[in-house]
Structure 1
Amino acid sequence: MIKEAKVELNAVLTPPLSLESGSAADYRAPNLVQRVLSLFGNVRPGSDLSSFVVPPHFNLPKSHLQCFGESVYCIGDDLLHKCVAGKNPLERFVAVVAWSISTARPMIFGVAPFNPTLGETHHVSKGTLNVLLEQVSHRPPVTALHATDRRENVEIVWCQYAAPKFNGASVEVAVNGKRQMKLLTYGESYVLNSPKLFIRFFPVMGVDWVGNVTIQCEKSGLRAELCYGGSSFLGFRGNQRSVKGKIFNSASLKTIYEINGHWDRTITVRDVDNGKVTELYNAKDVISTLKTPMVKNPKGLWPSESAVVWNKVSQGILSKNWEKASEAKKYIEEREREMFRKRESKGETWIPKYFTLSYTKESGWECSPKQRWVPPAPIIVPSL
């Protein structure tokens, strides 16, 4: 059971990234394009940007923890219920594929969320779904997510660690780590990965999700292979936000469905046996007009809550008071460095509070939740 001191704290919560998130351009500082180019002026191609310090002019007023969590709890259509409601393994697998696609959200060129502090948390509920995230490592940055729904008997466990690299005209962010969705009623576990985030500076600026995603269920033997496409080098929109792929039996390799469409519009599945085409995913229903989370119980907020940790920086960005935002962000970053130096001088190792963190060369970083069920949160997502 999670226990934290009950202290009244201030939290700043902003609208989630959605199809309409272009309005978030209001967060950006003037002359942002020139600022972006100057920011990377002294960075060499191939450089690892995981510890790159970003001024608040380039930040969204929220942490990576919040953006990561939003992809699970900020959703229009109840795709989790559809996963559980499937009448057979194939129906449930198809629903999980649709849910996986829903986690891709439109990003905004030139601005990025805050890098979470070590031990930072984010705890939010939507209906009976309770979601908890914790920054379990800082060097390298590793984020853990645990979500449970007792009514639907669903558990989600993710471990995510991004590896951004600067390539001269672009930044490629590999989103590493294993993602699992467990439909406990059926004893089915679905393992999946994430596409890469591709940020292009030349010749046309933009942000896309690209690369290959696999989804598999060992119990049913079903597997999906998806390819996310971005716009061409010259900026043509032919493949922008496209998704193509198939669902097949991993034992026989027989294709059951072909997948085609765009993750920000609609995606269809075609039954290869009879040629019937049906809609798999509709972005307008799922990631459009999303509700902003709100604090239901201020006394239940933790000091480590992401929306509390960054509240002064977020306030400065929202009011375009860049001096206030810079001072608040500098304070947080210097405090982090001081705490790191103290642990290092004492030979102490950081131990996450809500997850067990492990690493192997074969599997990379993995996170296991310390509790069976995530409790209801003080922050909730209002009903649609």
Structure 2
Amino acid sequence: TNQRCTYTFDLIMTSDDSCEVSFKDALVFDNKQVTEGSASQENGVWERRKTLPAEMISRNNFSVWSILKKCIGMELSKIAMPVVFNEPLSFLQRISEYMEHTHLIHRACSLSDSIDRMQVVAAFAVSAVASQWERTGKPFNPLLGETYELTREDEGYRLISEQVSHHPPISAFHAQSLKQEFEFHGSIYPKLKFWGKSVEAEPKGTMTLELLKHKEAYTWINPMCCVHNIILGKLWIEQYGTVEIVNHSTGDKCVLNFKPCGMFGKELHKVEGYIQDKSKKKLRVIYGKWTECMYSVDPKVYETHKKSDKKTGGDTKKVKQELSCEGEELDEMPEVQETVTVIPGSALLWRITPRPAHSAQMYNFTSFAMTLNELEPGMTRLLPPTDCRLRPDIRAMENGDIDTASTEKERLEEKQRAARRERSKDEEEWSTRWFQLGTNPHTGAEDWLYTGGYFDRNYTHCPNIY
């Protein structure tokens, strides 16, 4: 078979104490089928696409510096970038990539122990940002009122997202299990800053995952993200910062440290953390890379391994690590270090799905991302006119027509500005369609909450934004 699990990979890892460790030493929490491409419908009539209609457009003849040199330290959401620096997806579609590893949520729902569930939820939180690896194209800014629907019967969920605010840009989403097992929702206000050679994204907004059968709610905020070398050199991405996942029902907490790469790239992509109960007793250690895999292990086993590692000189170099993009002197991408050293007795929580061979020519999309802008047979008549699959600029870029994409992008932005002027003249407030501002019942903080009704398929009052 082609299952993604420990006993089918014969990859041997060698730890610093010369103990050979294979994936066979790990228990398995992640047993999702690897499909090597797109999933097909159960009736076998139709398959999701495995490629885009056209390859990525070259950016070699365009200078981002000419646009950004006056913007150092500024918030970037109001700056219009040439379409050539985009990827052919709306930010709403990019958000839906959090759902690529939904099998982890299903796995968490099936577990009886709350700490086991927390482990898998932590892996899901890491997997939700894994698609950003090498994704250096900018998604299209959603228009006010834009929506995106993603229904995946094979994965057992459906999602609706809406652009609920333009200034500041806020995107709200709500995903629900088709069998009423879970709900996953949040609102995202990404703050982007330009620091001379890099762009830093602060992902403001809380993720909330509710496991309905267990009456549990987990919340967290995603890590910081930085895109390096946006002026010269090879673009590369790192994520860093502390992510705290709280189980509001039990008081358990998982603290994950996304490590900045530091000098020599020693910590590039690494994630380490622990799960503690409400009395702050550490119960599991979580480790791995957000670009590869995540494991968990008993804290005592982890400490023993760490001491052994130090004795053999595995931790002799201490390097100063910067926690921000600001003030960098060297921006060269470090060489990717060895893959994760598996500690004996660890449990594999998650392993990333391999990207298709032609991914680099397709904006570094995953197989999942490749399908997000596809119009499935019969879909057009079911979608509201606000769905971003119907956006002409994104569609043109996907088809490799950069001139039409640029013209349409400018037309849509001007149409949006004109509509805003009309509302201002009439002293009319914009009214959201599927979400409203409320209070997150678990955090007590302000949040955009789904009001329901989207899947009733009554779209007569949806605005004409395209």
User: How high is the TM-score relative to the length of structure 1?
Assistant: 0.82
Answer yes or no: is 1:366 the counterpart of 2:447.
yes
SS of the aligned residue for 2:257 comes to: strand
**CA-to-aligned-CA distance 1:252-311 (integer Å, 9 cap, x gap):** 211111111111112211112555322122113799643624424321011100111x2x
* Counterpart residue type for residue 332 of structure 1: L
Higher strand proportion (structure 1 or 2): 1
Q: Does the residue aligned with 2:283 lie in a helix, a strand or coil?
A: strand
How far, CA to CA, are the matches of 1:135 and 1:208 in structure 2? 26
Q: CA deviation at 1:38?
A: 2.7
User: For residues 107 and 303 of structure 1, do their structure 2 counterparts lie closer, same or farther at Cα, with a shift above 3 Å needed?
Assistant: farther
User: Any residues of structure 2 matched to 1:105-144 within 5 Å, and which?
Assistant: 105-108=131-134, 110-127=136-153, 128-144=156-172
The answer (yes or no) to whether the contact 1:65–1:122 under 8 Å persists in 2 is: yes
**Residue 200 to residue 363, structure 1, CA distance change in 2 (3 Å):** farther
SS of 1:185's partner is coil
Within a 5 Å distance, the mapping from 1:262-281 to structure 2 comes to 262-273=289-300, 276-281=345-350
Aligned residue type for 2:251: G
Any conservation in 1 of the 2:209–2:218 contact (CA below 8 Å)? yes
Look up the equivalent residue of 1:292 and give its one-letter code.
T
Q: CA separation in 1, counterparts of 2:221 and 2:239?
A: 13
Instruction: Give runs of aligned pairs for residues 213-292 of structure 1, distance below 5 A.
Output: 213-232=243-262, 236-249=264-277, 251-273=278-300, 276-284=345-353, 289-290=367-368, 292=371
Determine what percentage of the aligned residue pairs are the same residue: 24
How many Å separate the matches in 2 of 1:200 and 1:268? 28
Contact 1:229 1:241 in 2 (8 A): yes
* Alpha-carbon shift at residue 248 of structure 1 (Å): 0.8
CA 363–115 in structure 1, closer or farther in 2 if over 3 Å, else same: farther
In structure 1, the residue corresponding to 2:59 is in which secondary structure?
coil
Q: Whose radius of gyration is greater, 1 or 2?
A: 2
Match of 1:346 in 2: 426
Q: Is 2:293 the counterpart of 1:211?
A: no
> Relative to 1, partners in 2 of residues 1:359 and 1:270: Cα closer, same or farther, differing over 3 Å?
closer
For 2:450, the aligned partner's letter is P
How many angstroms apart in 2 are the aligned matches of 1:319 and 1:218?
A: 46
Closer, same or farther: CA 52–358 of 1 in aligned 2, 3 Å = farther
Q: What SS does structure 1 have at the residue aligned with 2:267?
A: coil
What amino acid sits opposite 1:346 in the alignment? D
Contact 2:50 2:367 (C-alpha < 8 Å) held by counterparts: no
Q: Which of these residues, 378, 386, 395, is aligned with residue 304 of structure 1? A: 386
Cα distance in structure 2, aligned partners of 1:359 and 1:204: 42
CA distance in 2, matches of 1:375, 1:229: 44
The equivalent residue for 1:94 is 119
- Match for residue 8 of structure 1? none
CA distance in 2, matches of 1:37, 1:25: 27
| One-letter amino acid of the counterpart of residue 253, structure 2 | R
Distance 1:15 1:189, change over 3 A: farther
AA aligned to 1:46 is G
Is the CA contact 1:269–1:278 (under 8 Å) kept in the aligned structure 2?
yes
Match for 1:27: what amino acid? M
Measure, in 2, the Cα distance between the counterparts of 1:42 and 1:170.
14
Q: 1:268·1:279 contact (CA, 8 Å) conserved in 2?
A: yes
1:48/1:166 contact within 8 Å kept? yes
Q: Give the letter aligned to residue 227 of structure 1.
A: N
Letter in 2 for 1:186: H
The AA in structure 1 aligned to 2:451 is: K
Shift of the 228–63 alpha-carbon distance from structure 1 to 2, 3 Å rule, reads: same
Task: Report whether the alignment pairs 1:65 with 2:92.
Answer: yes
Structure 1 distance, partners of 2:112, 2:135, is 41
Match of 1:51 in 2: 78
Match of 2:221 in 1: 193
SS in 2 for 1:132: strand
CA–CA distance in 2 between the matches of 1:344 and 1:279?
Answer: 55
Name 2:315's counterpart in structure 1: none
Aligned partner of 1:169 in structure 2 is: 197
- The CA distance in 1 between the partners of 2:208 and 2:90, in whole Å, is 23
Distance 1:148 1:110 in 2: 29
The aligned amino acid for 1:350 is: W
CA RMSD, 1 decimal: 3.0
State the distance in 2 between where 1:115 and 1:314 align: 11
What CA distance in whole angstroms lies between the structure 2 residues aligned with 1:15 and 1:37?
34
SS at match of 1:27: coil
Worse overlay, 321-330 or 282-291: 282-291
Change (3 A) 1:177 1:241: same
Measure the CA separation in 2 of the matches of 1:54 and 1:343: 26
Contact 2:276 2:284 survives alignment (8 Å): yes
Give per-residue Cα distances to partners, 1:190-219, cap 9 Å, x unaligned: 011111121112776312222221101121
Could you tell me how far apart the structure 2 residues matched to 1:61 and 1:162 are? 19
CA distance in 1, matches of 2:56, 2:180: 37
Name the aligned partner's letter for residue 73 of structure 2.
G
Counterpart CA distance in 1 for 2:192 and 2:124 is 25
Q: Structure 1 regions of 5+ residues with no counterpart?
A: 1-12, 17-22, 378-384
Alpha-carbon deviation of 1:94?
1.2
2:297 is paired with a residue whose SS is strand
Cα distance, 1:96–1:326 mapped onto 2, change above 3 Å: same
Equivalent position SS for 1:299: coil
Q: Which amino acid aligns with 2:427?
A: G
Alignment gaps of 5+ in structure 2? 1-47, 303-344, 356-364, 459-466
Shift of 1:374: 5.6
**Correspondence 1:322-341 to 2 at 5 A:** 322-341=402-421
Q: Secondary structure at the match of 2:407?
A: helix
Deviations 1:52-96 (A, max 9, x none): 111111111110000101222x33x71121010011211111111
| Paired amino acid for 1:117 | L
**1:27 match:** 56
> How high is the TM-score relative to the length of structure 2?
0.69
- The 1:373–1:83 alpha-carbon spacing in structure 2 relative to 1, beyond 3 Å, is farther
Secondary structure of 2:64 counterpart = helix
Deviations 1:161-202 (A, max 9, x none): 101111122211100111101111111110111111211127
Judge conservation of contact 2:202–2:223 (CA < 8 Å) in 1: yes
